[in-house]
Amino acid sequence: MSSLAGITVLEFSRVLAGPWCGMQLADLGAEVIKIESFDGDDTRGLGPPFKDGLSAYFACCNRNKKSLAIDLRAPAARALIDALVRSADVVVENYRTGTAEALGVGYDAFAAINPRLVYCSISGYGRSGADAMRPGYDFAIQAEAGLMSITGDAQGDPYKVGVAVADLATGQNAAIAILAALRHRDASGRGQHIDVSLFDTQLSWLANIGSNVLFTGADAPRYGNAHASIVPYQAFHASDGQFVLAVASEKLWSQTCHALDRPDWIDAPDYRNNSARVDHRVALCAELAQIFAAAPVAHWLALFELAGVPAAPINTVKQALDLPLVQDRGMQIELGGVPMIGSPLKLSLTPVVYHDAPPRLGQHSDEIVSRIGGDPAALRAAGVIR
């Protein structure tokens, strides 16, 4: 049995944060019904690349779901949605603030039908506060919530992260909150409204950098591929390319010094502990750079592996996906001929189950309507479903 077997989720969401949340729940065994407009989720058209008409973007976050294509503004849609809500456990929506209510699919309307419902709203800036009405997109959130200012070359322009981390982290936070709310509902019998935003999530993901600013009152500088609080913990150039070195403890520093035949550094006043190394990062990293420039990447990776010091090549995405570890960990899967990255959640008794490829638009409309006693042909003729 899967962890969330018996849980039904109605996903009124599109693009990435909401669908990412829905896919985590689907991977864990929930039945996730993706409610789509007749135009479908925006990401269905975001490409290339496409595979048999399916966009890679849509495929990354919509496996294990069923698609119901419905016109929520059609009068006859109301009875269908209400019937689905009565038997649902969770709703996930990421409409712009006020839109769900205008469509009759807001929390208050649904809670009146099903008080046990866990209803999760995902938005750019939250459902309350001065910016509640603003649309939120990952790129803008990365900029506004401080992430871009600490990303990129130390002397260059600020950069966004290469994937939509604010969206993805928000989807994960939404899934965590939903699981907590389901736990509370099972104990109390009461559902609740969850409000998760990209801005809040990204601000919290500033983590130690945000904490540094709160401690000091000084703004955070950009370190590029170095670390604000740990030295050496950055990328270095070897004679034929770059690699990263992560010396995150005094034990690792000692091992590094011995591996490089510089035991004198262990007790050197400027390098003897991490605080001193942070203060003298320029001098230390210059010495390390001179050492590393004398041999190729493979030499240094082998040396540090033998010494037990974390070091790694800087792989391309394809190189990363081609690593044997990906197969060892079951992190590349295929469903219905669609290749995908697998779930990172490894549960010993209730493992993730992959059962359905990302659905075609409206693929399950008839199945879902028939299950609740509706007439698919009549609703299609009335313009309610596709």
Domains, the chain, in order of start with CATH, read 8-205+327-381 (3.40.50.10540), 233-314 (3.30.1540.10)
Q: Could you tell me the pTM of the whole model?
A: 0.95
pLDDT at 25: 98
Positions of the chain with pLDDT lower than 50, given as ranges: none
Tell me the C-alpha distance between 167 and 94, whole Å.
11
> 3-state DSSP: the chain helix, strand, coil percent, rounded to 5?
40, 15, 45
pLDDT at 165: 98
The residue length of the chain stands at 386
The answer to whether 167 is a known catalytic residue is yes
Residues in contact with 88: Cβ distance below 8 Å, sequence separation at least 6, in sequence order: 8, 9, 10, 114, 117
* DSSP code of residue 384: S
CA distance 227 to 216: 17
**Dihedral angle sign, alpha carbons of residues 356, 361, 363, 365:** positive
* Digit-coded pLDDT (tens) for 8-49: 999 999 999 999 999 999 999 999 999 999 999 999 999 999
Kindly write down the DSSP assignment for every residue of 203-241, as one continuous string. Answer: HHTTHHHHHHHHHH-SPPPP-TTS-SS-SSEEEEE-SSS
What is the rounded CA–CA span in Å between residue 292 and residue 322?
A: 27
* Helix H or strand E segment including 255: helix 250-259
- List 27, 138, 167, 200, catalytic entry: 167
Give φ, ψ of 240 to 5 degrees.
-125, 10
pLDDT tens digit string along 342-355? 999 999 999 999 99
Q: Single out the residue of 92, 89, 109 nearest to residue 20, CA to CA.
A: 92
Closest by Cα among 53, 59, 56, 64 to 22: 64
Q: What's the CA gap between 173 and 186, in Å, rounded?
A: 20
pLDDT at 1: 84
